[in-house]
Structure 1
Amino acid sequence: MSVSVRIPTILRTYTGGDSEVSADGATLAEVLDSLDAQYAGIKGRIVDEGGDLRRFVNVYVGNDDVRFLDDLATPTPDGVQISVIPAVAGG
């Protein structure tokens, strides 16, 4: 299944400056594997060494935060937009 992935500015060095790319996969984990196959190293900036989403990276499938769904097992229907958003802290 083909999906659209919005890439934050900080990760655009991996995508040649593209702010949105296409990837394939029925789940978020498969989409991230597809992204990494196309843009080597990008998955390591989203997922930690233990295979979990990094603490300061938010990922949305459609308008839903995957942490409140099935994390990396969240289904990614054909045509859905996935957004990778680095968390911002401070005050």
Structure 2
Amino acid sequence: MAVTVRIPTILRSYTAGSAMVSVDAHTVEEALTALEGDYPGISSRILDDEGKLRRFVNVYVGEEDIRGADNLKTRIPDGSNVTVIPAVAGG
């Protein structure tokens, strides 16, 4: 199933400037694997060395934070988008 992944500005250098890309996936993990296959290097900015979501990156399926669901195993319902949002800090 084709899924739209929204890419934050800071990671668009990996996607040739595209703000939204399409991948075939049923779970967030599959979407990130497909994203890495199409755009090498991007997953290291989203996942840590153990393959877990980096603590300063939030990922949503629709409006649901995957950390409150099944994390990377969260299923992506038909018609839903995956959104990657890096945390912003400042003072």
TM-score, normalised on structure 2? 0.96
Match of 1:68 in 2: 68
Q: CA offsets per residue over residues 67-88 of structure 1, 9 Å max, x none?
A: 0001000001233111100101
Note if contact 1:3-1:77 (Cα within 8 Å) is conserved in structure 2.
Answer: no
Q: In the alignment, what sits opposite 1:36?
A: 36
* Secondary structure of 2:75 counterpart: coil
Q: Which amino acid aligns with 1:66?
A: I
Q: Does 1:23 align with 2:37?
A: no
Contact kept, 8 Å, 1:61 with 1:80, in 2: the verdict is yes
Give the SS at the match of 1:83.
Answer: strand
SS of residue in 1 equivalent to 2:88: coil
Aligned 8 A contact 1:7 1:20 in 2: yes
How many residue pairs end up in the alignment? 91
State the TM-score, normalizing by the size of structure 1: 0.96
Structure 1 alignment gaps of length 5 or more: none
Moved over 6 A (4+): none
TM-superposed CA distance for 1:35, in Å, is: 0.5
Alpha-carbon RMSD across the aligned residues, in angstroms, is 0.8
* SS of equivalent to 1:77: coil
Q: Which residue of 1 aligns with 2:57?
A: 57
Gaps of 5+ in 2: none
Q: Distance in 1 between matches of 2:78 and 2:22?
A: 11
**What code does the residue aligned with 1:25 have?**
A
Matched with 1:13 is: 13
Question: Does the 8 A contact of 1:2 with 1:22 survive in 2?
Answer: yes
